[in-house]
Amino acid sequence: MTNAATNDGFVTFDRVQKSYDGETLVVKDLNLSIGKGEFLTMLGPSGSGKTTCLMMLAGFETATNGEIRLDGQPINQVPPHKRGIGMVFQNYALFPHMSVGENLAFPLEVRGIGKSEREEKIMRALDMVQMGDFVNRRPAQLSGGQQQRIALARALVFDPKLVLMDEPLGALDKQLREHMQFEIKHLHESLGITVVYVTHDQGEALTMSDRVAVFNDGRIQQLAPPDELYERPKNSFVAQFIGENNKLPGKVETLSGDRCTVRLASGELIDVTPVNVRSVGQETLVSIRPERIEFKPEMMPEGAHMISAEVLEVVYMGDIFRTRMRVAGSDDFVMKSRNTIGQTKLTPGERLKIGWHPEDARALNAN
Predicted pLDDT of residue 299: 75
Predicted pLDDT of residue 257: 83
Give Cβ neighbours of residue 86 (< 8 Å, ≥ 6 apart).
154, 155, 156, 158, 160, 162, 163, 164
Percent of all residues in the chain with a pLDDT value above 90, rounded to a whole number: 66
Q: What angle do CA 99, 102, 103 make, to 5 degrees?
A: 85
What count of residues does the chain have?
Answer: 367
Whole-number average pLDDT of the chain: 90
Provide the whole-model pTM.
0.87
Q: Does the pLDDT of residue 269 top 60, yes or no? A: yes
Q: Does the pLDDT of residue 344 top 80, yes or no? A: no
Distance (Å, whole) CA 312 – CA 335: 11
Least confident range of 12-16, 299-303, 350-354: 299-303
Confidence of residue 8 (pLDDT cuts 50, 70, 90): low
Confidence of residue 304 (pLDDT cuts 50, 70, 90): confident
Give the Å distances, CA to CA, from 221 to 38, 164, 192, 256, 280: 20, 21, 28, 25, 24
Under a CB-based contact definition with an 8 Å cutoff, are residues 323 and 335 in contact? yes
Least confident range of 121-125, 155-159, 299-303, 329-333: 299-303
Tell me the CATH class for 11-236.
alpha beta
Mean pLDDT of 246-273: 91
Predicted pLDDT of residue 2: 40
Predicted pLDDT of residue 215: 96
Confidence of residue 359 (pLDDT cuts 50, 70, 90): confident
Predicted pLDDT of residue 26: 94
Q: Which of 292, 281, 234, 232 is nearest to 254 (CA)?
A: 281
Predicted pLDDT of residue 220: 96
- Tens of pLDDT along 69-123? 999 999 999 999 889 999 998 877 889 999 999 999 998 988 888 989 999 999 9
Extents of the domains making up the chain: 11-236, 244-365
Distance (Å, whole) CA 55 – CA 200: 16
Percent of all residues in the chain with a pLDDT value above 70, rounded to a whole number: 98
Mean pLDDT of 11-36: 94
**What is the helix (H) or strand (E) element at residue 310, kind and residue range?**
strand 305-316
Predicted pLDDT of residue 3: 43
- Tens of pLDDT along 315-343? 999 989 999 999 998 999 999 998 887 77
Q: Does the pLDDT of residue 301 top 90, yes or no? A: no
Predicted pLDDT of residue 212: 97
- Tens of pLDDT along 115-147? 899 999 999 999 989 899 999 999 999 998 899
Q: Does the pLDDT of residue 7 top 50, yes or no? A: no
Least confident range of 83-97, 198-212, 246-260: 83-97
Cβ-based neighbour number of residue 60 at 10 Å: 13
Give Cβ neighbours of residue 138 (< 8 Å, ≥ 6 apart).
96, 97, 98, 99, 100
* CATH code given to domain 244-365: 2.40.50.140
